[in-house]
Structure 1
């Protein structure tokens, strides 16, 4: 699928990413801190070249707890230096001494106890510090032009390529599983949902691509999202609501289909139906299949705010730092700058 650039009129700065793991640093921002009591021990772990699933496996093995007793708020890149919070059920601070620091586990900080397990999405977003090497000579002029558009209009909230796997075809497996109960039942729920989510994101990216030139415009029939809390409402008066979108208080959304996700009306609804029709699907068929598979679906904002932006250029090396909310991909910022997929 071709995912157009919001800043297509500006040249890409090119460059090389992740020459070193330290070129891609991610710090997870907590949504809350532990209350001080409860069965779950919250710790902050710094790691290098270690994915979140591999971290969970390592903690399970070293600490002698089941993987299900370990909670995380988000998945972090393996080819990076990252920091994230982890909850551990029934683990004492003393037992953490078994976890030795090395080239992959860089730091372990005990934050305290809490009553609840850390769950996916329970974080306030991520702060990134990225290094792009060998950028084009025009970078000093181009970077502020691109980032100004992204700050003002928002970053296209495409799902990153990692959702589709190395082959880029995970969505096709998801489409097959959606109508094949026997095959679904042979997979674990987590594996099954991974492929079904890839199918959802494939449709969403196509819907966003078709709305890209208007990703900050509210249309009648849109389900608009309140950016402060994620709540959605059906737009009946687009002229009335547009000033709120201009202030980034609300944004148009696309559907991640499910048993309870609402489809848009008006022109936005026509776009959603046209996208799924190309795969031979209808809203009714996808809703019924999602009921059988047991997932509800949701609406996802077509854009995401870019905050805490800073950048510096030394020779041909660009250092860029910024914050994104949960679920947003740093690659969406990088592709607009570099003009590479």
Structure 2
């Protein structure tokens, strides 16, 4: 669900020219979910090829990555690995929500209510193994590096940025800050617009600096994690009635772990706060990754997208719009 820190962090606008030449660690699952939630037909259905393979995420990925190349951004897509044990209850909750949305979609379909069909269909979004595989295949053909995280992709992305192998994490969620990402870029949508309900609104990319945020809030990294836990994370419900601003006030008042007793943690959570905190601080990451990527193969990109039912003219036009170069990676343009 992503921790609710938007109202607390220090955000500053950043332009695409300012990001040119920088290596950006992209939260792959977060990005792909954006695509399968928003790139749908009028009745809410996902786009597919003739064999039923979902292509909505590939449409978004191809467009996003070719635009990254035109603006000289160097993306690295970081994929989730094994789900942390404490996240299972959150996944079960999401599964129930999707099941309910599926029922509401069928009701809207029976009524012929296209607007509600699209609204509820978006809430049923799921990434399947075959969809992830196709995404990795396309990225590989485009010469864009793929990193497989041992656990949470955001933790792995934060780890690589903290090491200096990337400049910032790219995600719409703020969880990477809890994993010590020095910088986080949000709203990195080349189109400059973001879906909100059935319409879209203009947005600008923004950079969030962890150090500046901690200084503004007068918090340590540990206290930031504690604050997020009170509000609610993927690993705990948090405390009912405590939002970001109230959590900040409590942390600033109590400063130590005593805040959990004062807030009534045990009355709202089955899992001890120590176990949740440890999940954040001991999240597995790896140094086994290749940031060079495979060689960009224009013919392979074209062939793969033709197999997935893309328009030949549109794909050719997009590929031809890119610089004609012998650079190894698409992102090197």
Q: Which has the higher strand share?
A: 1
Query: Which range, TM-score by smaller chain?
Result: under 0.3
TM-score for both structures, normalised by structure 1: 0.26
Q: Going by fraction, where is helix more abundant, 1 or 2?
A: 2
Compare relative contact order (CA 8 Å, sep 6+) and give the higher one, 1 or 2.
Answer: 2
